[in-house]
Amino acid sequence: MTSLSDDEPIRSSPSFPTVVLADVILRSSDDVEFRMCKGMLAQASPVFAETIARLSASDAEKGVDERVDDLPMIPVAEPAADLELLLHFCLPRAPPDISDLSCAVRLLESAKKYRVEWALDCARAAFVQLAEDEPIRAYAIACRLNLEDEAREAARLCLRIPLATLIDSEVEEIGDIGAKAFKRLLVYRQTCASVVVGRIASWAWVDALCIAAPDTKWLWFSDGCCDKMPVNRTDYTGRREVCKKWWDTYMKGVAEKLRSCTWEGAVSSRDGLQHFLRSKNCYLCRAGAAEHIDQFTENLRAEIAAQISTIPYVFDPSLP
Ligand SMILES: [Zn+2]
């Protein structure tokens, strides 16, 4: 056991609360001390529990090489900012909000290392929420840190961004990942777009919709009431059915949007209604148009999300 010399810089974090009856000190890699209770640490983290159990061993085996105010000092590899954030999750009080993506990732890493489950759950939830605003950055960070689940989630959120925006992205972190990791994202996008567009353009999907609601008389099928020039719509299987022209135009627009941004938010019932209102229509169709198009859009969104969920994003930990 050694003592710290007087000139060795040990500081406390001004933003960390005073812990009553502290009986152990954690020291960050940049020499900031955090006074904690052994019981709190052991309860929150099995890793800290093991370290603390070693403190109870004989002096020669303590693994503690310094004491301050007669308290055992445990040095850790994390800098103060990361350690402090993690320790907030070991206190009996609400932890701070995580409002920054790099903060969420740093917490993810330390929570995994020390197996602080609550912090891990909060960090994952924060990552997903923040990745919605910065999916490209989130993807790059997750790939660089080898975080498989987070990379997958970020790749899914990147589907919402037009391809041109993705390619032109000036997100700094994108430079941290290799060309192969970026290509993997592009391949995933391409697969999602191809599968989703093929599915929603197919008559098989419309069949499924009709089977699910057998009593509904969908207004895009021509029954001669108003559209006198229906079109033959052919899907990728070669199946041909007659439908109203406005709906065919609308669905072509939907496919175009989904090729660029493949996610359920790319389609809206307003678009469908606008196409209908611009078409020649009759009072019979107008009466149920808004409800039909809302119902159709809701099903369309669910189908897009369901199709995307079937497409695997293959994570390769060997790629940076
Ligand atoms: Zn009509």
Reported as a single tens digit per residue, the pLDDT across 80-120 is: 999 999 999 999 989 999 999 989 999 999 999 999 999 99
- Say whether pLDDT at 59 is over 70: no
Alpha-carbon gap, residue 200 to 193, rounded angstroms:
11
Output the CA 226–ligand 1 centroid distance in Å: 4
Beta sheet of 66-68, edge-to-edge order: 2-3, 66-68, 71-75, 24-27, 32-36, 11-12
**Do 208 and 295 lie in a common domain?**
yes
Residue 289 lies in a domain: yes
Answer yes or no: are the C-beta atoms of 244 and 279 closer than 8 Å: yes
- Asked if pLDDT for residue 269 goes beyond 70, the answer is yes
pLDDT-based confidence at residue 171 (cuts at 50, 70, 90)? confident
How far does CA 198 lie from the centroid of its chain? 25
CA–centroid distance, residue 293 to ligand 1 (Å): 14
pLDDT value of residue 4: 45
- CA–centroid distance, 257 to ligand 1, in Å, is 27
Separation of 262 CA from ligand 1 center, angstroms?
A: 32
Q: What is the sign of the dihedral through the CA atoms of 217, 223, 227 and 231?
A: positive
Q: Is pLDDT above 50 for 271?
A: yes
- State how far the Cα of 232 lies from the Cα of 238, in Å rounded to an integer: 11
Q: Which two tokens stand for residue 124?
A: 């994952």
Count of domains observed in the chain: 3
State in Å: Cα 4 to ligand 1 middle: 87
Q: Is residue 57 situated within a structural domain? A: yes
The reply to whether 203 and 161 lie within a common domain is: no
Lowest pLDDT segment from 3-7, 90-94, 280-284, 294-298: 3-7
* Domain shared by 120 and 46, yes or no: no
Is pLDDT at 268 greater than 90 in this prediction?
yes
Residues 248 and 295 in one domain: yes
Judgement on whether residues 65 and 103 belong to the same structural domain of the protein? no
Ligand 1 centroid, distance to 240 Cα (angstroms): 21
With bands split at pLDDT 50, 70 and 90, how would you rate the model's confidence at 49?
A: very high
Does a structural domain hold residue 300?
A: yes
What are the tokens at 25?
Answer: 């000190």
Q: What is the pLDDT of residue 1?
A: 41
User: What is the pTM for the complete model shown?
Assistant: 0.77
Does residue 183 belong to any structural domain of this protein? no
Instruction: Say how far apart CA 86 and CA 82 lie, in whole Å.
Output: 6
Side-chain-side CA neighbours of residue 45 (13 Å): 24
Residues 126 and 203 reside in one and the same domain: no
Kindly state whether residue 225 falls inside one of the protein's structural domains. Answer: yes
Q: What is the percent of the chain with per-residue pLDDT over 90, rounded to a whole number?
A: 54
pLDDT of residue 319: 59
Beta-strand runs (E) in the chain: 2-3, 11-12, 24-27, 32-36, 66-68, 71-75, 231-234, 240-243
Mean pLDDT (whole number) for 197-209: 90
The mean of the pLDDT values for the chain is: 88
Same domain, 71 and 116: no
Average the pLDDT over 16-24 and give the result. 89
Pair of tokens at residue 261:
């941004």
Are 70 and 116 found together in one domain? no
Which amino acid is it at 189? R
Residue 163: give the domain boundaries: 97-177
- Is residue 102 domain-shared with residue 73, that is, in the same domain? no
CA 231 / ligand 1 centre spacing (Å): 15
Q: Is residue 158 part of a domain?
A: yes
pLDDT of residue 7: 53
Tokens of 80: 């103060």
What pLDDT does 3 receive?
44
Which pLDDT belongs to residue 39?
Answer: 94
Please tell me which of 10-19, 42-51, 227-236 the model is most confident about, judged by mean pLDDT. 42-51
Cα 200 to ligand 1 centre (Å)? 24
Query: What's the whole-number mean pLDDT along residues 24-49?
Result: 95
The pLDDT tens digits for 142-166 are 888 888 889 999 999 999 999 889 8
pLDDT of res. 2:
41
91: three-class secondary structure by DSSP: coil
The position carrying tokens 């199946």 is 239
Q: For residue 280, report the distance from its CA to the centre of ligand 1, in Å.
A: 8
Predicted local confidence at residue 9, as pLDDT: 54
The CA 279 to ligand 1 mean position distance, Å, reads 10
CA of 134 relative to ligand 1 center, distance in Å: 45
Give dist(CA 155, CA 136) in Å, integer: 8
Could you tell me the distance, in angstroms and rounded to a whole number, from the CA of residue 36 to the centre of ligand 1? 73
Position 54 scores a pLDDT of: 85
| 12 Cα distance to chain centroid | 35
Q: Are residues 110 and 67 in the same domain?
A: no
> In this structure, how many other beta carbons lie within 10 angstroms of the beta carbon of residue 267?
22
CA 223 / ligand 1 centre spacing (Å): 8
Please give the Cα distance from 48 to 86 (Å, whole number).
12
One-letter amino acid for residue 55 of the chain: L
**CA–centroid distance, residue 218 to ligand 1 (Å):** 11
